[in-house]
Amino acid sequence: MFPKYKCDESITGDCDHVAHCDQPLHVSIDWADPWSLDNWVSRYGLECVDPFRIALLGSMYFSGTTLFGIVVNRMGDLYGRKWPVRASALLSIPIHGLLLVSTDLTLTSILFFLIGALSPGKCQVAFTYAGEFLKERERQVIGSMILFCDSSAMVLLPLYFKFVSKYWLYFHVVSFSLNVISALLIFMVPESPKYLIGKHQPLQALESLNKIARFNGLPILTEIQGIKEQQEITTSTKDSSLSISYLLKDIIHRRNLILAIIIWSTVLLGYYTIYFHIRYLGGDFFFNSVAFGGTELTAYFFGSMITQRVGVKNSFTISLLMTAFSGLMYALFRSSHPELLPLVLACGGFGVVWGCNICWNSNATLFPVVFSSSTNGVCNLFGRFACAVAPQVAEGKQPYPMLIIAASSLMAAFCSRALVVGK
């Protein structure tokens, strides 16, 4: 977001960032204006660079995530959850440290690529890893809490700039500190027992469970109770080579994967398209951002409760129909009743965020444990393509962007009825 500028009498045209670049001696930043933030615009002189250099920051992040997503997630299935997570967390420390001190836009673009490359390990494999330490009935709630905390930055950041400081660095230092602490703490977490049981390594699973028991002051186990039941759950992968081709030979798993890709892509396309429309609501951008962030947090909180009651399949259908309804209402009321648009977008925002929540938390119920990291990576890969398309969709002439969201969400809602949960 560009700051506000003040011009002297010699400037007769618009007093904006273009005038500041052309005549910096006569146009300066108005630091008294609440919209003038001391962020990366002034740090890197973004007001005077080509727009593609600004867009390159996001593109480099998504490129890193896309290029490394499949490989890192596959490693999580083949070699265990803990090593991709630990390596990504540890390597992120110097990269985020360099980001704190970098003043060169090219270096920062490279760092964004590296952060994106580490994202599959830190986010995707880590989410699967964390869920496997939880009971089935708890995973939806705890997974939603993780996503809730992640999305809280959307509320905290505008509140920080509005009421705490205009200077970006303090917020980033706190973020960097949390990154270091979490990277060190992850080395205390053993390998996922559920993953080890799925890989038919009961002795290693018992060792991992005993590490957890010692940490919690519980008695040491001599055997894993219910190991036969656990083995029955994973009989479909007992004699497999754990290759993706094996997963795709199963008609139900193949269908689930195709449908999950469609739903993930639709949900993420809707999420970013609706978020981009906040800019056109008018009023206070800080308030709009906090309001949308609040809607997101509400969706994570109440969406998980609804999913526990009605199940994954029904939740997908309802959330996608909410998004489709929002898109249609936006197209109908954007000219005749503009005062209703914030409420309509909030409804759509609730739908796509709830859908996002289900996507992340349902992966373990749609696919075998020994493939859950890989399938998460595949769905995220196609989801990233949807993220790349979202800005072009959002900038289209209204009402076509929201009609596209409505149509795609309606199609995905029908697709969700064909999912087979908990095979």
Convert the pLDDT of each residue in 206-222 to its tens digit. 999 999 999 999 888 87
The pLDDT > 90 percentage for the chain reads 46
CA–CA gap between residue 366 and residue 284 (Å, rounded): 42
Mean pLDDT value of segment 254-271: 95
The torsion angles phi and psi of 386, rounded to 5 degrees, stand at -65, -40
Mean pLDDT of the chain: 87
346 near 298, Cβ under 8 Å?
Answer: no
Whether 236 shows a pLDDT value over 70: the answer reads no
> Which pLDDT score, from 0 to 100, does residue 225 have?
62
Task: List Cα–Cα distances, 64 to 68, 109, 147, 225, in angstroms.
Answer: 6, 11, 22, 42
> Which pLDDT score, from 0 to 100, does residue 214 have?
92
CA–CA gap between residue 125 and residue 209 (Å, rounded): 20
Whether 174 shows a pLDDT value over 90: the answer reads yes
> Which pLDDT score, from 0 to 100, does residue 405 have?
94
Whether 275 shows a pLDDT value over 90: the answer reads no
Q: Which residues contact 413 (CB under 8 A, 6 or more apart)?
A: 316, 317, 320, 321, 324
3-state SS class at 234: coil
Task: List Cα–Cα distances, 223 to 191, 205, 228, in angstroms.
Answer: 17, 10, 11
Mean pLDDT value of segment 119-125: 93
**DSSP strands (E only) in 55-124:** none
CA–CA gap between residue 347 and residue 322 (Å, rounded): 7
> Which pLDDT score, from 0 to 100, does residue 51 have?
78
Task: List Cα–Cα distances, 19 to 51, 73, 414, in angstroms.
Answer: 16, 47, 51
Per DSSP, 125 falls in state I
CA–CA gap between residue 89 and residue 86 (Å, rounded): 5
Higher pLDDT, 140 or 110: 110
| pLDDT band for position 237 (cuts 50, 70, 90) | very low
374 near 78, Cβ under 8 Å?
Answer: no
| pLDDT band for position 323 (cuts 50, 70, 90) | very high
Whether 234 shows a pLDDT value over 60: the answer reads no
254 near 371, Cβ under 8 Å?
Answer: no
Whether 231 shows a pLDDT value over 50: the answer reads no
Q: And the tokens for 160?
A: 């920080």
Closest C-alpha to 29, from 45, 50, 51, 10:
45
Whether 310 shows a pLDDT value over 60: the answer reads yes
Q: And the tokens for 53?
A: 């250099």
CA 82 to chain CA centroid, nearest Å: 20
| pLDDT band for position 16 (cuts 50, 70, 90) | confident
Task: List Cα–Cα distances, 229 to 139, 192, 198, 232, 247, in angstroms.
Answer: 19, 17, 11, 5, 21
Whether 7 shows a pLDDT value over 80: the answer reads yes
Whether 233 shows a pLDDT value over 50: the answer reads no
Q: Which residue has the tokens 């494999």?
A: 125
> Can you list the domains of the chain with their CATH numbers?
51-191+240-416 (1.20.1250.20), 200-236 (no CATH)
Whether 137 shows a pLDDT value over 80: the answer reads no
Whether 58 shows a pLDDT value over 90: the answer reads no
Highest averaged pLDDT of the listed ranges 82-91, 128-137, 248-257, 379-388? 82-91
CA–CA gap between residue 341 and residue 279 (Å, rounded): 12
- Preceding omega of 399 cis (within 30 degrees of 0): yes
Q: Which residues contact 115 (CB under 8 A, 6 or more apart)?
A: 61, 64, 92, 95, 96, 99
The torsion angles phi and psi of 397, rounded to 5 degrees, stand at -70, 130
What pTM did the predictor assign? 0.83
353 near 300, Cβ under 8 Å?
Answer: yes
Q: And the tokens for 109?
A: 């673009």
CA–CA gap between residue 387 and residue 55 (Å, rounded): 13
Q: And the tokens for 46?
A: 């973004």
272 near 387, Cβ under 8 Å?
Answer: yes
Whether 346 shows a pLDDT value over 90: the answer reads no
